[in-house]
Structure 1
Amino acid sequence: MRKLKLATFVSLDGVMQAPGGPTEDPTGGFPFGGWLPPFFDDTVGEFVGGALGEDYDLLLGRKTYEIFAAHWGHSGDEMGALFTTIAKYVAAGPETPLNWNNSHRLEGDVAEAVAKLKAEGDRDLLIQGSGQLIQALLKANLIDDLTTLTFPVVLGTGKRLFEPGDHARTWTLVETKHSPSGVVCSRYERAGEVQSGSFAMPDPNEEEAARQARMRREG
């Protein structure tokens, strides 16, 4: 079974929208498109290259597919040639044309389609961008590997990697480094359910018992 990997650029407050440029994704009136390039350096580039590798197929949502097809499908560089050659599986309805070479539409329930895709192939699947698709696959517990490049900027608005939803779980850090520009590059593997513990005293004193009671009343 192949792994499903997620690689994404995020701000300190978890925003992943439009890192590459002002026109990339201005939906919702997002005013900070292009927040990534000022921090991009050789260390970031090397980590991205190592994290992505070359032996994978792409898994994309509709908006990210359109961004990639319009850019990488016409770039003429090495990355564009790779993305054009490999298979691209797209979560998009029939109204979206898939004219980019070697593009395939996911049919039916997206989580079921991706689970089937993982079971059938031998090349890992890589998600980039595709926020809505990420949310669905996190909820279905289908993402195996998470690479985040966290940039030293707080945006305060925009689409976030982890929106509120049913995807609480733990991840194991397997690799990390930081760049001269302050970008923290980390790779995690899916671990298990969230475990809890407590530093509280086993027998709370009167003040602590009153505080707990007040918190329960306040909901």
Structure 2
Amino acid sequence: MRKIVGTVFVSLDGVMQAPGGVNEDITGGFAHGGWQFKFPDPAADATLGATFDGYDLLLGRRTYDIFAAYWPYVEGEEAKLGETFTNAGKYVLTRGDQPLEWENSHRLKSMDDVAALKEGDGPDLMIWGSSEVYPGLLSAGLLDRLTVMIYPLTLGDGKKLFGDGTPAGALRMVDHQVTPSGTIIATYEPAGPIPEGASVPPIATAREAERQRRMQEGTW
């Protein structure tokens, strides 16, 4: 059985859109493309270097389009990484029928297809970008590990890592690092439902009763 693992770059306010290039993803009027490269971090780069080889890729369709328009053509220092991505199997979760022309690309139509792929033999599956993939993977219990690289900035508007449809659930930290440049690198594994337990009990006062009434009415 394969494992499904993700590595994602996010801001402190949870935005993951377009870390790599100015025009990588301008949907929604996003104006901060390429933000990750404005915060160079050798320690974070060293961590990333260990994540590229030995994986197939699991991508959403938009991230696949970004990769397919760049990595097969890149030259210079990045050419080797481009070759690694080209040679890897690329599994694209998409409802559309658009051609997937990059070598070694395969279409997945549903989470059932992802589950079947995971049950098979082959390299582990690495997710890059692909914000819309995570809610479904978490809901289906298919995500095995997630490394979040949190950079020291806020971006305001933009696509979030955990968007609509993300289920409630617990995560267990299995590794962490804070780099000298201030990047937080934290790795998590799913840990089941949110534990049940005691919370701060309310105090039965007239003010609390009034507050509860207003919350129920939507006027609080």
Q: What TM-score does the superposition give when structure 2 sets the normalisation length?
A: 0.89
Deviation at 1:41, TM superposition (A): 1.7
Query: Is the contact between residue 86 and residue 102 of structure 1 (CA under 8 Å) also seen in structure 2?
Result: yes
Cα 1:41–1:211 shift into 2, 3 Å = same
Listed one character per residue, the Cα deviations across residues 50-106 of structure 1 (whole Å, up to 9, x for unaligned) are 3x2522110111111111111111114221111011100112355422111111111
Deviation at 1:134, TM superposition (A): 2.1
Equivalent position amino acid for 1:211 in 2: E
* Mapped partners of 1:4, 1:212: distance in 2: 47
Correspondences of 1:107-146 after superposition (within 5 Å):
108=109, 110-146=110-146
Q: Please identify, of 158-167 and 1-10, the stretch whose mean Cα deviation from structure 2 is larger.
A: 158-167
Does 1:104 pair with 2:106?
A: yes
Equivalent position amino acid for 1:64 in 2: T
Query: Is the contact between residue 18 and residue 25 of structure 1 (CA under 8 Å) also seen in structure 2?
Result: yes
Deviation at 1:166, TM superposition (A): 4.2
Aligned to 2:56: 57
* Mapped partners of 1:105, 1:186: distance in 2: 30
CA RMSD between the two structures:
1.9
Equivalent position amino acid for 2:13 in 1: D
Listed one character per residue, the Cα deviations across residues 34-61 of structure 1 (whole Å, up to 9, x for unaligned) are 11101122101111123x2522110111
Equivalent position amino acid for 1:102 in 2: N
* Mapped partners of 2:64, 2:113: distance in 1: 17
* Mapped partners of 2:210, 2:6: distance in 1: 42
**How many residues were matched structurally?**
213
* Mapped partners of 1:99, 1:163: distance in 2: 29
Equivalent position amino acid for 2:93 in 1: A
Equivalent position amino acid for 1:73 in 2: P
Cα 1:69–1:196 shift into 2, 3 Å = same
Aligned to 2:151: 151
Aligned to 2:171: 171
From 55, 60, 82, give the equivalent of 1:80.
82
Does 1:214 pair with 2:211?
A: yes
* Mapped partners of 1:130, 1:190: distance in 2: 19
* Mapped partners of 1:99, 1:60: distance in 2: 14
Cα 1:213–1:124 shift into 2, 3 Å = farther
Q: What TM-score does the superposition give when structure 1 sets the normalisation length?
A: 0.89
Equivalent position amino acid for 1:153 in 2: L
Query: Is the contact between residue 141 and residue 167 of structure 1 (CA under 8 Å) also seen in structure 2?
Result: no
- Mark the runs of 5 or more structure 2 residues left unpaired by the alignment: none
Question: Which aligned segments of 4 or more residues in structure 1 are displaced greater than 4 angstroms?
Answer: none
Listed one character per residue, the Cα deviations across residues 13-42 of structure 1 (whole Å, up to 9, x for unaligned) are 111101112100000111111111011221
* Mapped partners of 1:89, 1:62: distance in 2: 9
Cα 1:198–1:94 shift into 2, 3 Å = closer
Equivalent position amino acid for 2:61 in 1: R
Cα 1:5–1:216 shift into 2, 3 Å = farther
Cα 1:214–1:46 shift into 2, 3 Å = same
Equivalent position amino acid for 2:45 in 1: G
* Mapped partners of 1:96, 1:138: distance in 2: 26
* Mapped partners of 1:156, 1:41: distance in 2: 22
Equivalent position amino acid for 1:178 in 2: V
Equivalent position amino acid for 1:85 in 2: N
Cα 1:4–1:216 shift into 2, 3 Å = farther
Equivalent position amino acid for 1:81 in 2: E
Query: Is the contact between residue 39 and residue 182 of structure 1 (CA under 8 Å) also seen in structure 2?
Result: no
